[in-house]
């Protein structure tokens, strides 16, 4: 079981060899496991690894199997374990890199791998039956075809369709016509025989086992015969090439050939309405896998499970389980194959929601903890002023909940429209069998489904319709969503909504109903992710420190009591869950969020700054109507990440605006609007007056944000669970959303800084290393954060009984005028953690250091249990058995980690 993990983002240029090179450093830092991004074979050039094309191979661009073995050896030499990020929900489908998908395109339903992918081969649209829609064309199909951009190509006996960089296979039966023409022109009986043999292959609609086996056997035999014929008869080969060129020159002939394929090339915009396969969210190049099928599970997980069985891997992080047909069944199967492995899932929990108790896993990837710990540094007293300022600037006073619902509706009308259409078609089939509902139109059913999906209070439910399993929580969630939909859309027949609720709660059952429930649940998670995280979070800018994955921008912070209650639940229910504060998916790094959070403590000062500079931004805006909301986001962003280069800010603002989908988008970019954003970025990073004002204004904000970060790190590393450190964040890291947060990490500097800390602690004296003053002197380069990370990890390694599943958790309340500014608890018992919060009021307006003056804590105390307590961060000793001033504990260093000395 990991003690702590360190996340490494592998990519071309930072593969296994480079990762092995930093293993000694992360081992000295104090983690127990390297936690890597996916490294099964991905799309060539992939920078993240989530676009797997072959789960049976190690990514060759990262070093392949040899590099992987060497990486594992180096980990073992440094006594580190390994956790792998696993992608079970989907695969990438570019060109021929995915052999399973290539076979499906070549053979349709008769492919041996047709069952692997979540494809609807029998949609309501007759023209899409038995084919896969491929939305890859830049324009309408007919225009692209007439422009000669689609071509038939031959290499030996292999035929492909090319559209620019896209390649597609040619179904073997469809070749019979052009082969027959070439045979007649060349007078080749052998080629004529081959043409007839192609036409005699079993059809793709013949999907019984015997026909599939015969098709795959015979097509390879026929392909070999064709290759030999063409090699032996140059005249026949030349005739065939001439027929191919004639076909390419004749749009009708090429169209006839394409019509015989098991796929349909289409304009990319058609993905929003007619796509016939389940995707990862709205990414048409990532197709859903059917891992609920035993064969698919075995083939897609075989290599990883061998690594688990052989001890190469100690654990798995499961990506996006909410996209699966049966997440509970999946994790049970995974647990059976890995009875002792550490299993965590990327599950986004709503406030108050818990992982299902019957899932045999250690917990989640920690976005619930991220939300709870981050909220500690948001001052609730700032909520009303910030709400009023945001409404005044943007002209939009709607609460976040309403903004989120609107965004989810738009996503369902837009990029997830094809998924909703497939769901509505299934609902229509169901209603045809229930006479009370058969007269409802497809539009009625579409709107009922849309509204219920738009008001779902959680990402998804977990009913298992094929065995009738549903718990009371899921029933309550569906009933809540049905009631909310009835209120928000009174025009929808309430009896139809009630009927939908009965299906989703398994009160009405049947094969079609079961399929609807499964697909509804798979879609609801995607709607939440795309509607909230990737749309509403980029529209609602009241305080963007709250706009984080797993967060709720409508909830203005977390109280210490709420934080303690959540930690107590974790200690009791999931003591080995992951704890995180920054990931590869976060919108902003932890240090950006903790700095922006300080604004909540100074609403008046913030308002003066905004009202000074917003008009100047409007003056600089040219070429399109001013976007006050986007400018407000830009100001908060600059506050959080300063200093930042113009290009980084430009890229971020453009991405944020496209994700918001209000004035521009990925599918319909507005060049004039985006040029105006570029002008804003240029002013904010290049105007001397703004920079001078910002530099003065940021001094206390930066200091307070850094204290917040130290507190957050200490709380993460000592709360119940397994803390994760995202690569590079052991120093200050001011990163924005990907790809910004996946930039190259300067490990050389980190190694040097850690070595200097360890050398200072190994000088033969009784000292733990450099003193607090020396550590704080390195504030600007991030030394305090590295110190807190390293020393706390050392304490965890030395006393695992205090911090792992065996360690208890006991909140400790402070008493006095600054009690609300303290978060304290005991682990073990035997470890006491004390961290400040809402520190701007304590540091003051002019302070530039991380020290909180002792007089700010005057009269505020906590209870220190009996014993002698050693502070692993300041080096101080404290004697318990009564109350102790908080100023005494935090007087030399901003946070405290006290461990009680053993008796005697």
Residue-wise pLDDT for 137-178, tens only, equals 999 999 999 999 999 999 999 999 999 999 999 999 999 999
Residue 705 to residue 602: CA distance in whole angstroms: 13
DSSP type of residue 901:
P
pLDDT of 661 > 90? The answer is yes
| DSSP H stretches of helix in 151-233 | 176-186, 189-199, 209-232
Q: Are 265 and 150 in contact (CB under 8 A)?
A: yes
| DSSP H stretches of helix in 30-127 | 64-77, 99-107
Residue 718 to residue 804: CA distance in whole angstroms: 9
Weakest-pLDDT range from 365-379, 760-774, 825-839, 854-868: 760-774
Q: Where does residue 495 rank: exposed (0-12), middle (13-18), buried (19+ CB within 10 A)?
A: exposed
Mean pLDDT score across all residues of the chain = 95
Residue 301 to residue 317: CA distance in whole angstroms: 13
pLDDT of 7 > 90? The answer is yes
pLDDT of 673 > 70? The answer is yes
For residue 286, what pLDDT band results from cuts at 50, 70 and 90? very high
CB atoms within 10 A of CB 122: 10
For residue 738, what pLDDT band results from cuts at 50, 70 and 90? very high
pLDDT of 620 > 90? The answer is no
Question: Sign of dihedral through CA atoms 403, 408, 410, 415?
Answer: positive
Q: Are 99 and 106 in contact (CB under 8 A)?
A: no
Percent of the chain with pLDDT strictly greater than 70: 99
Mean pLDDT of 393-404: 96
Mean pLDDT of 778-791: 97
The residue behind tokens 């002023």 is 385
Q: Parallel, antiparallel, or unpaired for β 279-280 and 263-267?
A: unpaired
Q: Are 343 and 305 in contact (CB under 8 A)?
A: no
pLDDT of 680 > 50? The answer is yes
Q: Are 699 and 846 in contact (CB under 8 A)?
A: yes
Q: Are 612 and 694 in contact (CB under 8 A)?
A: no
pLDDT of 39 > 60? The answer is yes
721 Rama sector, left if φ>0, alpha if ψ -120 to 50, beta otherwise:
left
pLDDT of 904 > 70? The answer is no
Specify the pLDDT at position 854. Answer: 87
pLDDT of 763 > 70? The answer is no
Which is more confidently placed, 33 or 764? Answer: 33
Percent of the chain with pLDDT strictly greater than 90: 93
Question: Which of 55, 153, 156 lies closest to 98 in space, CA to CA?
Answer: 55
Cα–Cα distances in Å, from 190 out to 196, 219, 247, 643, 790?
10, 16, 22, 72, 74
Kindly report, residue by residue over 521-563, the tens digit of the pLDDT: 999 999 999 999 999 999 999 999 999 999 999 999 999 999 9
Residue 722 to residue 5: CA distance in whole angstroms: 7
pLDDT of 765 > 70? The answer is no
Specify the pLDDT at position 624. Answer: 86
- Cα angle 737, 363, 872; round to 5: 75
Q: Are 294 and 322 in contact (CB under 8 A)?
A: no
pLDDT of 709 > 90? The answer is yes
Cα–Cα distances in Å, from 211 out to 112, 190, 202?
11, 25, 6
Which is more confidently placed, 904 or 199? Answer: 199
Specify the pLDDT at position 768. Answer: 62
Kindly report, residue by residue over 106-131, the tens digit of the pLDDT: 999 999 999 999 999 988 888 889 99
pLDDT of 762 > 50? The answer is no
Question: Which of 104, 91, 87, 90 lies closest to 53 in space, CA to CA?
Answer: 91
pLDDT of 848 > 80? The answer is no
Residue 533 to residue 527: CA distance in whole angstroms: 10
pLDDT of 357 > 80? The answer is yes
């Amino acid at each position: 079981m990991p003690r702590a993990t360190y996340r490494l983002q592998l990519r071309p240029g930072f593969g296994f060899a480079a990762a092995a090179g930093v293993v000694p450093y992360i081992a000295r830092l104090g983690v127990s496991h390297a936690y890597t991004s996916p490294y099964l074979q991905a799309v060539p050039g992939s920078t993240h690894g989530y676009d797997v094309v072959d789960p049976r191979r190690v990514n060759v661009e990262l070093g392949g199997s040899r590099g992987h073995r060497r990486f594992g050896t180096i980990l073992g030499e440094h006594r580190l374990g390994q956790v792998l990020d696993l992608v079970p929900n989907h695969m990438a489908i570019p060109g021929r890199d995915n052999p399973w998908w290539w076979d499906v395109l070549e053979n349709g339903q008769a492919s041996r791998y047709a069952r692997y992918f979540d494809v609807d081969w029998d949609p309501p649209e007759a023209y899409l039956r038995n084919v896969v829609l491929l939305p890859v064309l830049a324009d309408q199909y007919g225009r692209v075809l007439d422009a000669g951009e689609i071509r038939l190509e031959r290499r030996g006996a292999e035929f492909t369709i090319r559209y620019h960089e896209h390649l597609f296979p040619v179904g073997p039966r469809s070749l019979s016509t052009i082969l027959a023409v070439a045979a007649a022109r060349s007078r080749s009986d052998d080629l004529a025989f081959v043409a007839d043999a192609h036409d005699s292959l079993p059809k793709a609609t013949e999907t019984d086992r015997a026909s599939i086996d015969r098709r795959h056997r015979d097509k390879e035999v026929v392909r070999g015969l064709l290759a030999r014929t063409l090699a032996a008869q140059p005249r026949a080969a030349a005739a065939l090439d001439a027929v191919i060129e004639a076909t390419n020159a004749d749009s009708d002939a090429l169209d006839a050939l394409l019509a015989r394929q098991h796929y349909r090339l289409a304009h990319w915009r058609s993905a929003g309405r007619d796509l016939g396969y389940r995707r990862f969210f709205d990414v048409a190049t990532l197709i859903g896998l059917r891992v609920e099928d035993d064969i698919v599970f075995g083939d897609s997980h075989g290599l990883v499970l061998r690594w688990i069985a052989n001890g190469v891997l100690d654990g798995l992080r499961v990506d996006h389980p909410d996209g699966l047909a049966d997440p509970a069944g999946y994790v049970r199967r995974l647990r059976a194959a890995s009875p002792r492995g550490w299993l965590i899932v990327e599950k986004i929990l709503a406030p108050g929601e818990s992982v299902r108790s019957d899932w045999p896993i250690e917990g989640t990837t920690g976005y619930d903890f991220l939300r709870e710990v981050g909220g500690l540094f948001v001052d609730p007293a700032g909520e009303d002023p910030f709400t009023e300022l945001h409404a005044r600037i943007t002209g939009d006073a709607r609460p976040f909940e309403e903004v989120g619902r609107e965004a989810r509706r738009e996503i369902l009308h837009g990029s997830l429209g094809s998924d909703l259409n497939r769901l509505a078609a299934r609902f229509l089939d169901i209603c045809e069998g229930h006479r009370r509902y058969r007269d409802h139109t497809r539009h009625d059913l579409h709107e009922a489904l849309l509204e219920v999906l738009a008001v779902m209070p959680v990402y998804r439910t977990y009913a298992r319709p094929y065995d009738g399993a549903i718990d009371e929580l899921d029933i309550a969630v569906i009933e809540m969503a049905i009631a909310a939909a009835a209120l928000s859309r009174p025009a929808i027949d309430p009896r139809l909504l009630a009927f939908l609720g009965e299906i989703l709660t398994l009160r009405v059952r049947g094969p079609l109903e079961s399929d609807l429930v499964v697909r509804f649940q798979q879609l609801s998670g995607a709607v939440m992710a795309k509607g909230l995280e990737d749309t509403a979070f980029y529209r609602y800018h009241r305080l963007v420190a709250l706009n984080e994955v797993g967060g709720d921008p409508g909830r203005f912070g977390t109280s210490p009591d709420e934080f303690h209650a959540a930690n107590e639940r974790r200690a009791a229910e999931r003591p080995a869950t992951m704890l995180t504060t920054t990931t590869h998916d976060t919108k902003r790094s932890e240090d950006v969020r903790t700095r922006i959070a300080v604004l909540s403590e100074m609403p008046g000062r913030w308002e003066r700054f905004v009202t000074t500079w917003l008009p100047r931004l409007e003056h600089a805006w040219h070429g399109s109507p001013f976007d006050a909301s986007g400018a407000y986001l830009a100001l908060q962003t600059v506050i959080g990440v300063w200093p930042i280069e113009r290009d980084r800010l430009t890229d971020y603002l453009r991405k944020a605006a496209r994700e918001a989908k209000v004035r521009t988008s990925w599918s319909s970019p507005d060049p004039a609007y985006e040029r105006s954003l570029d002008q804003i970025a240029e002013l904010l990073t290049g105007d001397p007056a703004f920079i001078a004002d910002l530099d003065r204004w940021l001094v206390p904000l930066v200091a307070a944000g850094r204290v917040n970060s130290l507190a957050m790190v200490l709380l993460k590393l000592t709360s119940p669970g397994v803390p994760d450190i995202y690569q590079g964040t052991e120093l200050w890291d001011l990163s924005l959303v990907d790809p910004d947060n996946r930039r190259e990490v300067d490990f050389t500097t980190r190694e040097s800084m850690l070595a200097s800390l360890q050398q200072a602690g190994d000088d033969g004296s009784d000292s733990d290393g450099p003193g607090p003053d020396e550590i704080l002197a390195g504030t600007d380069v991030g030394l305090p954060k590295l110190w807190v990370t390293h020393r706390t990890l050392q304490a965890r390694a030395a006393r695992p009984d205090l911090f792992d599943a065996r360690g208890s958790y006991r909140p400790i309340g402070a008493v006095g005028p600054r009690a609300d500014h303290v978060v304290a608890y005991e682990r073990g018992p035997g470890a006491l953690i004390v961290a400040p919060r809402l520190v701007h009021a304590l540091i003051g307006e002019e302070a530039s250091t991380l020290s909180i003056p002792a007089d700010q804590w005057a009269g505020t105390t906590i209870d220190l249990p009996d014993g002698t307590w050693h502070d692993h961060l300041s080096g101080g000793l404290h004697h318990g058995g009564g109350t102790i001033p908080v100023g005494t504990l935090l007087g030399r260093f901003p946070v405290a980690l006290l461990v009680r000395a053993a008796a005697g």
